[in-house]
Structure 1
Amino acid sequence: MRLYAYALQPPYVPITPAPIRRAWMDATPAGHANRCLPLLIANQSGWIVVHRGRTRATWEDGDRPGDVRIEFEGGGEAPTSHFGHGIITWRVPYLFRTPPGWNVLMRGPANAPKDGATSLEGVIETDWAVAPAFHSWKLTRRGHPVVWEDGEPICMIVPQRRGELEEWEPRVRDIFDEPELSQEYGTFSDSRTEFNATRPREWQKDYFRGRSPGAAAAPPGEHQTRLHLRDFEDSEQTECSVRPTI
């Protein structure tokens, strides 16, 4: 399947597969957070739009658009304050196009908390819409300057099949209604309790290896420990060489 990003004007803003690493995860004792495979997979689940230049935004005393002070340096395009209430918005200079029936979720970079700001999210029907993408962040503390450095991501794009969530029929069941599953869970729970009590030097790695302490295991060939998203091909260069700083 093809995901197109039609550049609207130069200078082009880099788009690159989201990296697996996060600075805050590396900074945990012995990089402990990097043992969490669900975090690592989420980190990579999309493409990052990279900020060009340096933005410093401060929400001052009020909810009007002018009550956000934006200081911008360098190349690229500065964000603006359209809506007030501490919201700043970047125009992403691309028009995204997906196959029929596919949307694009625009969200903040996964597992990348930012002090004083939170990313807003939007879903765009990118198989027909002809407007450029915009991405907003909401400042959460008045008087607190928030900085986006050059090379830092401003958003993450994730294709989604339209209507797929609505096809699910969620149900709540007692785990004891499924004896085999209940037994597998009990084996896992006992194993984790023993591990936490003894605190061995080696970590368990069961989920990382696609298995459980019991008989349950991932289907052959379907367990993932890393994603391999393709780079965006460029009409002028074969791939984007910029890697974001998160």
Structure 2
Amino acid sequence: MPRRLIAYQTGPALPGLRPASARRGWMDETPNGFAYRCLPMTVANAHGWEVIGDTAFEAWWNGGSRKTDIVIRPLGGGAIRPMSHFGSGILTFPIDALLRTEPGIGLWVSGPPNSPKDGIMPLSGLVETDWAPMTFTMNWRFTRPDHVIRFEAGEAICFFFPLDRGLIGRHQPQSRPITEDAALEAAHRGWRQGRRAFNEALHEEGSPERAKGWQKDYHRAPGIADHMTKPRVLPFPPLP
């Protein structure tokens, strides 16, 4: 049964909200786009929604703890303007929307996964959006002083996805030797031997393995009905 995720408008307009993309510029630049062969990474990239910034700006931090130790230079107009609210090298984006999830479901909030930005990093939080009547801010922290960072208009400033808040507490960690599960041990041994043989054959000129390029075992996931190769993330509809 579908779960509701509501974005309530709390200001003049909702910020731009869109399903996250699996694409990354640095992944495009890898030879033959090989980075996209890592399915767990591409699924993580697209496993949520993005908040889109509409203000191009540059900013830098002098290394101090005061709010005034961050300088922000807008390069155009826009509604989502970053600010220095906390000090300590933290750049803050106000998110002018109140997101509401169903009971027991929160939102994991961070920056776009696998999208490094030189000189600044997103801070992550788990927001209890099933009850909280307040909005949240998206915060990034400078990683070194005297380095100019830049965001473009249309760039994602925030990434979020729903998470069962009680799920982690319902897991009981265990440690066991793999020999306790004969079927799993055999499957793992077969995969490991196949992987080794495939990697060795990649170095052989004219081998079928070299022509194939990669094994795709994880992509195929035989017999797994709910194997995820592309998240189904629906867009937010426009306001009525």
TM-score normalised to the size of structure 2? 0.92
- 1:27 corresponds to: 29
- 1:140 corresponds to: 143
How many Å separate the matches in 2 of 1:229 and 1:191?
A: 34
- 1:5 corresponds to: 7
- 1:229 corresponds to: 233
How many Å separate the matches in 2 of 1:182 and 1:114?
A: 40
**AA aligned opposite 2:168:** L
- 1:213 corresponds to: none
How many Å separate the matches in 2 of 1:198 and 1:46?
A: 38
- Return the offset for 1:133: 1.7
- Return the offset for 1:234: 1.5
Asked if 1:183 corresponds to 2:193, the answer is no
**AA aligned opposite 1:208:** H
- Return the offset for 1:58: 0.2
Asked if 1:57 corresponds to 2:68, the answer is no
Query: The residue matched to 1:75 in structure 2 has which SS?
Result: coil
Q: 2:47 aligns with which of 45, 48, 66?
A: 45
How many Å separate the matches in 2 of 1:61 and 1:36?
A: 37
Query: The residue matched to 2:106 in structure 1 has which SS?
Result: strand
Alpha-carbon displacement from aligned partner over 1:51-97 (angstroms, at most 9, x marks no partner): 11112110114221110111123212311112222101111010011
Number of aligned pairs? 229
**Contact 2:15 2:80 (8 Å CA) reproduced:** no
How many Å separate the matches in 2 of 1:225 and 1:32?
A: 16
Normalized per residue, the structure richer in helix is 2
**AA aligned opposite 2:6:** Y
Asked if 1:206 corresponds to 2:217, the answer is yes
- Return the offset for 1:37: 0.7
- 2:80 corresponds to: 77
Asked if 1:120 corresponds to 2:131, the answer is no
Segments of structure 1 that go 5 or more residues without pairing to the other structure are 211-216, 237-246
Segments of structure 2 that go 5 or more residues without pairing to the other structure are 203-209
How many Å separate the matches in 2 of 1:22 and 1:61?
A: 30
- 1:241 corresponds to: none
**Contact 2:63 2:89 (8 Å CA) reproduced:** no
Alpha-carbon displacement from aligned partner over 1:131-152 (angstroms, at most 9, x marks no partner): 1121100010100111111111
How many Å separate the matches in 2 of 1:130 and 1:159?
A: 17
- Return the offset for 1:10: 2.5
- Return the offset for 1:49: 0.4
Identity of aligned residues (%): 38
Please tell me the root mean square deviation across aligned C-alpha atoms, in Å.
1.2
- 1:244 corresponds to: none
- 1:97 corresponds to: 100
Q: 1:149 aligns with which of 152, 165, 168?
A: 152
**Contact 2:63 2:144 (8 Å CA) reproduced:** no
How many Å separate the matches in 2 of 1:198 and 1:118?
A: 40
Alpha-carbon displacement from aligned partner over 1:140-167 (angstroms, at most 9, x marks no partner): 0100111111111011111111211110
How many Å separate the matches in 1 of 2:161 and 2:223?
A: 25
- 1:243 corresponds to: none
Runs of 4 or more, structure 1, over 6 Å off, are none
Q: 2:113 aligns with which of 110, 113, 126?
A: 110
